[in-house]
Amino acid sequence: MTLVNPLEKVYKVTDLVPVINEIKSQNKKIVFTNGCFDLIHVGHTRYLKAARDAGDKLIVAVNSDRSVTQLKGETRPLIPLEERMEVLASLYFVDFVVSFEELDPYTIIQQLKPNILIKGGDWPLEKIIGKDIVEQEGGKVFTIPEIPGRATTGIIDKIRKLHKDF
- Sheet order of strands, 140-144 included: 10-11, 96-100, 57-63, 30-35, 116-120, 140-144
CA distance from start to end of the chain: 45
| Per-residue model confidence (pLDDT) at position 43 | 86
User: Is 1 inside any structural domain?
Assistant: no
User: Is 58 inside any structural domain?
Assistant: yes
User: Is 23 inside any structural domain?
Assistant: yes
What letter would DSSP give residue 126? G
Q: How many domains does the chain have?
A: 1
The CATH number given to whatever domain includes residue 16 is 3.40.50.620
| Per-residue model confidence (pLDDT) at position 153 | 65
Q: How far apart are the C-alpha atoms of 130 and 132, rounded to whole Å?
A: 5
- Look up the pTM and report it: 0.89
Structural domain range at position 159: 6-165
| Per-residue model confidence (pLDDT) at position 6 | 73
Long-range contacts of 127-135 (CB under 8 A, 24+ apart): 129/104, 129/105, 130/32, 130/105, 130/106, 133/106, 133/109, 134/32, 134/109
Q: Tens of pLDDT along the chain (166 residues)?
A: 555 677 899 999 999 999 999 999 999 999 999 999 988 888 889 999 999 999 999 999 999 999 999 999 998 999 999 999 999 999 999 999 999 999 999 999 999 999 999 998 888 999 999 999 999 999 999 999 876 666 666 666 667 777 775 5
